Amino acid sequence: MTTVDDLSGPARVAEAGEGITAEELRLAARNHGMPLEALRYDVTPAGLHYLLIHYDIPDLDAASHTLTVDGHVDTPLHLDLAALRARPRVTRRVTLECAGNGRTLLEPRPVSQPWVLEAVGNAEWTGTPLAPLLREAGVGDGAVDVLFTGADHGIERGVEQDYQRGLPVAEALREEPLLAYEMNGAPLLPQHGAPLRLIVPGWYGMAHVKWLRGITVLDRAFEGYQNAVAYRLRQEAGEPGVPVTRIEPRALVRPPGFPDFMSRARVLRPGPCVLDGRAWSGHAPITRVEVTTDGGDTWADATVVRSDDEWAWRRWEYPWTTEPGRYTVSARATDASGRTQPVRPQWNRGGFANNLVQRVDVAVLAG
Amino acid sequence: MTTVDDLSGPARVAEAGEGITAEELRLAARNHGMPLEALRYDVTPAGLHYLLIHYDIPDLDAASHTLTVDGHVDTPLHLDLAALRARPRVTRRVTLECAGNGRTLLEPRPVSQPWVLEAVGNAEWTGTPLAPLLREAGVGDGAVDVLFTGADHGIERGVEQDYQRGLPVAEALREEPLLAYEMNGAPLLPQHGAPLRLIVPGWYGMAHVKWLRGITVLDRAFEGYQNAVAYRLRQEAGEPGVPVTRIEPRALVRPPGFPDFMSRARVLRPGPCVLDGRAWSGHAPITRVEVTTDGGDTWADATVVRSDDEWAWRRWEYPWTTEPGRYTVSARATDASGRTQPVRPQWNRGGFANNLVQRVDVAVLAG
């Protein structure tokens, strides 16, 4: 008799030199990153924002969808979309990044969604703040986690589940988290969680539960799969590990010049140009971006454009005059908490939070 | 001195057993297919339609963008978007599929954008018909090809180029092709060719030139890279090969049940269900879809839903009652021209037009 265990293997790390597998490719073909030239847009257009869907996009009807708030509360609530839309409305520009961004740059490679560096986007999310709703329900004394349940259903590493994530109650009661029903001024697209999703500014993507149908206040820590098994920093398989939470600082370079189709090598003509890109952190605002064009031998400060959006990426730019030759360009972000990007990879078994500095190879051809 | 040839290698075929390479992965991370559960939507929502971008998405301004019609014509034309929008307006529902869809299922694997089976979408394209514009310019006697030039620029297999495709003049003068400025009722998204693209119903995606800036009537066949070098069916590298043109028939199954995150294995509970999916062909309307649930030993006719949209996919469905066990499900499309899908792969060096029947492995667990 076939069981779940026959279909769903444990997490593993690739062998030395093992190419990307058919399984990883199937994930790459359905999920997608943001093509890095889209770093030019302050707000990422629909369809260019990164997308990571654990199971299938569920088929939900906005007209009949409801959200339940229950558990360790005084007054359970049950709201439809009209009720949520009638509540106070807030729009926030927020950078979302997948916790696995940069995974395939680790050696050995953790086998999962095979991100290179494109798993990011910056969108305008509109919805109603979460905290007042929780206060209305009345969070009981001794609440520990708030559990968010999505309508997407599947199996992961042998565990059949609806997608569920617990968030510490103190985070859930901050001002920032939203129950979002619009993205970039339009109703949520199916793949971004229609008709309702959670937005937790500053946190990696796994916290922003899509297709949200339930909120349950717990008087204990949530020990379900996505918190206790996945999304933890571990060196060895058996360790409890450290939870993945807020986004580590990262800067990306908008690839200059034009590309080769297959190698994605970047080509420039000699002369003055401006390098630019975006930088973000989920811990604190970006305060500094440094650029190197010689593979890290020397770094110089880029100009960081100020922004009032605390949880959105910031544009940076750096003037560069090129001569024929080959160059390796990188940018390195530092935030107001003092966190900065490492120049050597910090490996973990899940391939999470790898904010190693990007390296962009550029060839300047003779004019 | 670095040259283009140092950055851009020739096309190649993977070694036996060679995993997906870092180059292929970078393409998979930026381009994306349609997650197959989106076969449920008759019109593919923005951001779920497949996307294949040879170079970078260019940064074009709709307000200043112009289209030139020149070459072997009586009266060259120069139109801005307002002029195109003032012309007759037509909306067509059209299925687009990348010519490379199915590539990684070939053995040995041609090394290029590593599609599995998701490179498809069905959208509503709105624009103005091409043929009247060509007639207005006055196509000269002896015209052979109409060349379409996009604003996207890059290098491919050693050739620096703007993306350009020639279309036989008889095809360009058919009623169907559109100069499209809207998709699904909204202005084109940047990644789908904003502000203007060509739509050639029935043809594989390479013909639907995005970011269209020029139309040039030629009194000879276009011998540029995308027609003469790429997009040809070849067994050996040196052959002239056969041009890739219209979409071969294909049916896809909407994956039933729910998935395992990593393996994408499909899981069902026992009992009655309805298998469904879509089928399309660029040669003629779909007339028949057959389904097998036993790996091809036996086939039965599915119900094909009629449609007035000649170039859009058609829904099919097939009732199925399952018992615990393992099954391999496939659907096979046949069109009114008599073309059908092969059950054995038809290999070519570019990995084009591989319409081998899909195989979906399904496990029905004990209830």
B159–chain A nearest CA distance, Å: 9
Q: Given pLDDT bands bounded at 50, 70 and 90, which one contains residue B132?
A: very high
Q: How far apart, in whole angstroms, are the C-alpha atoms of residue A167 and residue A217?
A: 10
What is the structure's pLDDT at A343? 86
Q: Best mutation site among A262, A264, A322, A361 for testing chain B: the one with the most B CBs within 10 Å?
A: A262
Q: Quote the pLDDT of residue A154.
A: 98
Task: Specify the pLDDT at position A367.
Answer: 73
pLDDT at residue number A46:
85
In whole angstroms, what is the distance from residue B335 CA to residue B341 CA?
Answer: 10
pLDDT of residue A291: 98
Whether pLDDT at B239 is above 90: yes
Domains of chain A and any CATH numbers: 4-243 (3.90.420.10), 250-364 (2.60.40.650)
- The shortest CB-CB distance from A260 to any of B1, B111, B154 is to B154
Mean pLDDT of all residues in B206-217: 98
Q: What is the pLDDT of residue B1?
A: 78
A1 CB within 8 Å of a chain B CB: yes
Position A179 scores a pLDDT of 99
- Confirm if B78 and B70 have CB atoms less than 8 A apart: no
Contacts of A27 in chain B (CB under 8 A): 262, 264
Does the CB of A15 have a partner CB in chain B at under 8 Å?
Answer: no
pLDDT at A165: 98
Q: How far apart are CA A88 and CA A86, in angstroms?
A: 7
Q: Say what the pLDDT of residue B213 is.
A: 98
Query: Is B190's CB within 8 Å of A38's CB?
Result: yes
Rounded to a whole number of angstroms, the distance from the CA of A342 to the nearest CA of chain B is 22
List per-residue pLDDT tens for chain A, 367 residues long. 788 888 898 999 999 999 999 999 999 999 999 999 999 999 999 899 999 999 999 999 999 999 999 999 999 999 999 999 999 999 999 999 999 999 999 999 999 999 999 999 999 999 999 999 999 999 999 999 999 999 999 999 999 999 999 999 999 999 999 999 999 999 999 999 999 999 999 999 999 999 999 999 999 999 999 999 999 999 999 899 999 999 999 999 999 999 999 999 999 999 999 999 999 999 999 999 999 999 999 999 999 999 889 999 999 999 999 999 999 999 999 999 999 999 888 999 999 999 999 999 999 999 7
User: B40 vs A56: CB contact, 8 Å cut-off?
Assistant: no
Of the candidates B29, B31, B48, which has its C-beta nearest A116's C-beta? B29
pLDDT at B367 over 80: no
State whether B26 and A157 contact (CB < 8 Å).
no
Q: Which residues of A touch B51 (CB under 8 A)?
A: 32, 47
pLDDT of residue B2: 86
Residue B140 has pLDDT above 90, yes or no: yes
The question of ipTM being above 0.90 is answered as yes
**CB of A359 less than 8 A from some CB of B:** no
CA-based diameter of chain A, in Å?
72
Nearest by CB to A118, from B18, B29, B38: name it.
Answer: B29
DSSP state at residue A153: E
pLDDT tens, B109-129? 999 999 999 999 999 999 999
Could you give the percent of chain B with pLDDT greater than 90? 95
- CB atoms < 10 A from the CB of A91, how many? 14
